[in-house]
Each structure stands twice: as structure tokens, then as C-alpha cells.
Amino acid sequence: MCGRTACTLAADEVSRASQYRDRGGQRRQPRWKDGDSDKYRPSYNKSPQSLSPVLLSQRHFVKNAPVDECVLAAMRWGLVPAWFRENDPNKMQYSTNNCRSESLLEKKSYKDPLLKGQRCVILADGFYEWRRQEKDKQPFFIYFPQTQGPAPVKTEEQDEGTPCKEDPQTCTSEEGSGDQKEEDKGDREWRGWRLLTIAGLFDCWTPPSGGDPLYTYTVITVDASPNLQGIHDRMPAILDGEEEVRKWLDFGEVKSLDALKLLQSKNTLTFHPVSSFVNNSRNNSPECLQPVDPQAKEPKLSASSKMMMGWLKSSTHPKRKESDTGEVKQEGHPRETRPKKQLKPAGPLQQWLQGASKKPRTN
């Protein structure tokens, strides 16, 4: 299952982190659907009913758009079928946060959007899962293995042999118009945190009495990979690499039955234990994903966590200051207000947290 995720990137960073190649092999940067970048809020602790960044084909919104052109949208977690007749989507009598890959063609709620090509990719830093223990549950943060440290970003100018005169961490120029700089962003390859790409289905529901349409999604799950079976027997269906993402979204070229073949258990994720601080979905801060020692008894924040909290409270990155704190409380997880003793984060996670404490991450 998948009941909690994290997506801490700002809206413009999500766009850059989800660059893709179209059928012709050209690298593209998806734009946000009109107004949706303002609806999205970064969060260390996203629960069902909250809005998450979702990647899908632009043709779902613009009928004459190329089917392989992608767009970002902010969709609510928990699929509301188009045929649902109540005026309040919260009156759904059953959970549609997750759907099992084995039963996609058996249940109308999922079969209809699947056969209509309404496939999407949910984007997240990672997801949380709880391992049952004797008296309680130990939460884990699960994500793609990250590269060891950020690499300088190459621009088109550098490819022609001209060195970058700016900070090699960002490699952007302050010269030129805003439009030019925005256009240049699409040419820069993302070198930050590699987002999880999770297979999902979406639907568009309109209240029978009239009103704005509501776009919602469900996370498709498969049997857990061998390295995750000790935590839980199910996991989200992960799309590993640009080619799998392209095939899942390209409903014009890849038909539904062929797309289902992409839903496989993949032994490609890594994980670390985190504090039970994450159990309460109202808690939304770096402690949620900080590595901990499950055996430690004395709660203590790590230096990285303190730096990140100070950075979030500062005015250096207003886009991340407005994080998503209005999450819906999850049942079944005990409340905890303080994290357990922290272990020193290792490798790229530490670099990501410490780098963010120095200045807004732009690459």
C-alpha cells in the first residue's frame, strides 16, 4: 500500500525535475496546467486528500495537442470516479487511494479510466511505509538511490566550449530578459533530487448539481520487491527511467493492455528508518524524513535537521515557506510530537539537506 508521501520541491523545481524526452528524442520541460502551480504546496508529509504533482499527457486537456506532450497538474489523492452521483466527494464509501494492479480490469472505478487512457505519473521525493513490530510500527522513508553529490549543470553555451562565469552550482546568468531565462531553464538538465515516478490513474469528476471539475488520482500497487518485503508486502508501481514513464503516459501509442506490462515489482529502491514523528500527518518538517536509530531512547534533533528548520523559517525561499500543512489525519498511527535520536544522514541525503540550508537549490 501507499498511504503517505513527501514532495518538498517548489513548483518550478518539480517542473525541472520531471523533464522528459518526446517521441523524437527531444528533451522537454513540462509546464504546469493553468493555475495548478499555485495550488500545489511542498510537503514532507502528504496524506490522502491532499494535492500532489502529477505528470500526464497534455492531450487530456487540449484535444489537438501531441499525445506525447506532457503537462503537470495538481490533483487530489483519492480517485473520485466520474460516475459518482453525490455532490460531496467526501461521501465516497470506500477507499480509492490505492488500487491493486491485479484488479484494474475488475473494478469499474479503475477500469473506466484505464481503458480511456487516463494514465498518470505521481511525483514524490519518496513514500513512507510502516513495518509492524510487537507493540508499534516502525516507519521508513523509501526513495530512488541518489547520485553522489550534485554535478554542475551544462548549458547550451558550455557545450560550445564557453565556460560558465556564474556559480557552477547553478550555472545561470542574470543577463537577458525573464523570458530568455525561463526558456534557458528547459535546456538545463536537472541535477537535484531524483523524484520517484509512480504509476497511477486519474479521473475527472463534476458535481451533479454543477460546479468546478475535480481531478483526482489513485496510486497503483504491486507486490513488494525482495528488499522491501521485510517492511510491507505491497509497494507502489514504480516506473524506472524516462522510457517507462513515456510509455505509461503515451496512451496513443501504448494501449492499455500493453501498458499494464510496465506494472512490475522492481528492486530499485532504497530506504532508511525515520522517526514516529511522521505518524501524525499534521507534522510537516524535515524530521519526517531524517534517518534515525530505531534503538535510540533519547530524542534529539540532528544538526542537519536544525539547519533545515532554520532555513525553512527564514525568508530565503518563499516558495518552500508556504508548505502544505493542512493534511488529513491518518488513522492507525499513534501520535508523536518529538522524533527519536537522529543518526547522521549519509551521502546524498545529507548533501541535499545541508545544501538547502545554505541557499535555495536551483539545479
Residue 196 DSSP SS3: strand
Total tally of structural domains belonging to the chain: 2
Based on the fold, state whether residues 283 and 174 are members of the same structural domain.
no
Q: Which of 69, 129, 244, 327 is catalytic?
A: 129
pLDDT of residue 2: 77
Based on the fold, state whether residues 80 and 181 are members of the same structural domain.
no
Annotation says 129 is catalytic: yes
DSSP at 260: G
Residue 95, domain member (yes or no) = yes
Q: Assess whether pLDDT exceeds 70 at residue 358.
A: no
**Could you tell me which of 52, 40, 4 has the C-alpha nearest to residue 284?**
4
Based on the fold, state whether residues 330 and 232 are members of the same structural domain.
yes
Q: Which of 2, 70, 120, 288 is catalytic?
A: 2
C-beta of residue 303 within 8 angstroms of C-beta of residue 343:
no
Q: Which residues are 96's β-sheet partners?
A: none
Q: Residue 5: which H helix or E strand, with range?
A: strand 5-7
Based on the fold, state whether residues 116 and 244 are members of the same structural domain.
yes
- The CA distance from 103 to 118, in Å, is 16
Strand stretches in 22-149, DSSP E:
27-28, 31-32, 43-46, 51-57, 70-77, 98-100, 119-124, 126-132, 137-143
Based on the fold, state whether residues 112 and 240 are members of the same structural domain.
yes
93 pLDDT band, cuts 50/70/90, is: confident
- Residue at grid coordinates 501507499: 2
pLDDT of residue 1: 63
Strand stretches in 152-299, DSSP E:
196-205, 214-223, 234-236, 270-273
**pTM for this model (two decimals):** 0.76
Q: Calculate the CA 198 to chain-centre distance.
A: 8
Residue-range definition of the domain harbouring residue 162: 154-186
327 pLDDT band, cuts 50/70/90, is: very low
pLDDT of residue 259: 96
pLDDT in tens, 283-318: 999 999 999 887 754 344 444 344 434 443 443 344
Nearest-Å Rg of the Cα atoms of the chain is 20
C-beta of residue 178 within 8 angstroms of C-beta of residue 184:
no
Find the range with the poorest average confidence among 117-131, 183-197, 324-338.
Answer: 324-338
Based on the fold, state whether residues 193 and 243 are members of the same structural domain.
yes
- The CA distance from 172 to 138, in Å, is 42
Annotation says 336 is catalytic: no
- The CA distance from 269 to 145, in Å, is 6
Cell of 186: 528547459
Q: Assess whether pLDDT exceeds 50 at residue 95.
A: yes
Based on the fold, state whether residues 65 and 143 are members of the same structural domain.
yes
Mean pLDDT of all residues belonging to the chain: 77
Based on the fold, state whether residues 240 and 98 are members of the same structural domain.
yes
Residue 363, domain member (yes or no) = no
pLDDT of residue 210: 85
